[in-house]
Structure 1
Amino acid sequence: MLRYQNNTKETIVTILQLDSSITGENSVSRQLTRSIVERLVATAPGTEVIHRDLVADPIDHLTLGALADSSVLDEFLAADTVVIGAPMYNFTVPTQLKAWLDRVLVAGKTFRYTENGPEGLAGDKRVIIALARGGFYEVGSPASALEHLETYLRGVFGFIGITPEFVAADGIAMGPEQREASLASALDDTVRLAA
């Protein structure tokens, strides 16, 4: 985990950056999270960035014993903005990201059950998710029924009271030209997200 600060003002805004791609510097989602964070830092002097690489420094998968460690949850709750790199692996989130989510979705901390149903408790933060998908999964496409990345992340963050924002690079496994076009389009979208 890396920390760095831009201390030109007294107000400290905290960004938690999470990367979960196993492809290192070749990763599209990592390029997108880096761009988003750089743009956010440039527009908000006094920003502290906490970077957690879920591949280089993996979180153990959930066990009863692991529930006692609240450091991941505390880090999430302390962040003002969370920027997540989420590549699609086998139609859903990487297991590294799922292990992190299992530490963040905690009854009584980020959601609670009421007589009217579940209530999210974490709606006071911004979550931006950079998606990278090898194919095309939009509604109406032949593979749309297999899209369990964005739909899952939209659902779990909604459950805890957050409406996430998405930037996506789709079709990145459809050849080098499509990869470059999708990455360029998604990088352009990071400008909008930082505004």
Structure 2
Amino acid sequence: MKLLHIDSSVLGPHSVSRQVSAAIVDRLRQATPSLEVVYRDLTETPLAHLSGSHLAAAQGAPAPAELGPDLTASETVLNEFLDADIVVIGAPMYNFTIPSQLKAWIDRVLVKGKTFKYDASGPEGLVGDKRVIVAISRGGHYGAETPYAAGEHLETYLRWVFGFMGITSLEFISADGVNLGPEHREKALAGALQAATGLQAA
């Protein structure tokens, strides 16, 4: 069984989402020692954002020579995703949505003919056999009952993206209010870490 671990926070060891995603992976490794883990840090090895040249190449147009390494990277990250049985993602909220580094990765795995397709009845996800677990950290509180619910474009976006690809085994562990003060941060982190230890085995 293969697990793909993705981190996208720019805060390194100070990141809450990184701590929680690592705890999730540790829990699954303990439960399944034979688990094969591939790790990708999107801030250490960032992917370029999509350009007109990327889209043209995807349609079969000749790619500029300088785009070659990036197209190779695209193929690599797509294959990592396709090969994984479980995907664990550390996703902090930056300005109400996902980091741009994570968006660049999504643009490489949300690929027509690979992870979804269209037919006469509309879109169909092609990778519904995966388990996806997302470790979220948010500076404030954005639950449905809060005044800020309309500003939440992280969890809602990721639910849509992975659902579009057919994934129904989707779990979120959230640390909310981490910017409201040290006590709030510690409480939110402790709660998320505790939730990670209670995850079902791989």
| TM-score over 0.5 (shorter chain) | yes
Counting matched residue pairs gives 183
CA distance in structure 2 between the aligned counterparts of 1:51 and 1:193, rounded to whole angstroms: 20
CA distance in structure 1 between the aligned counterparts of 2:9 and 2:176, rounded to whole angstroms: 15
Q: After the TM superposition, which segments of 4 or more aligned residues of structure 1 sit over 6 Å from their partners?
A: none
* Secondary structure of 1:112's aligned partner: strand
Deviation at 1:193, TM superposition (A): 2.0
TM-score, structure 2 as length reference: 0.88
Q: Deviations over 1:98-154 (max 9, x none)?
A: 000000000010000111111000111110000000000001211110000000000
CA distance in structure 2 between the aligned counterparts of 1:75 and 1:44, rounded to whole angstroms: 20
* Correspondence for 2:145: 140
Q: Find 1:184's aligned residue among 161, 175, 190.
A: 190
Deviation at 1:48, TM superposition (A): 1.1
* Secondary structure of 1:193's aligned partner: coil
CA distance in structure 2 between the aligned counterparts of 1:73 and 1:64, rounded to whole angstroms: 19
More helix by share: 2
CA distance in structure 1 between the aligned counterparts of 2:114 and 2:51, rounded to whole angstroms: 18
* Secondary structure of 2:94's aligned partner: coil
CA gap of 1:173–1:20, structure 2 versus 1, over 3 A, is same
Q: What letter matches 2:43 in structure 1?
A: V
Q: Report matched runs for 1:23-172 at 5 Å.
A: 23-66=11-54, 67=58, 68-69=71-72, 70-163=75-168, 164-172=170-178
Q: Deviations over 1:48-82 (max 9, x none)?
A: 11110000110111135445441111110001110
- Give the unaligned 5+ runs of structure 1: 1-12
Q: Deviations over 1:154-179 (max 9, x none)?
A: 00000000132100000000000010
Q: What letter matches 1:182 in structure 2?
A: A
Q: Name the % identity.
A: 58
Q: What letter matches 2:180 in structure 1?
A: M
- Give the unaligned 5+ runs of structure 2: 59-70
Higher relative contact order (CA 8 A, sep 6+): 2
Mapped contact 1:36–1:194 kept (Cα < 8 A):
no
Q: Considering only aligned residues, what root-mean-square deviation do their CA atoms show, in Å?
A: 1.1
* Secondary structure of 2:22's aligned partner: helix
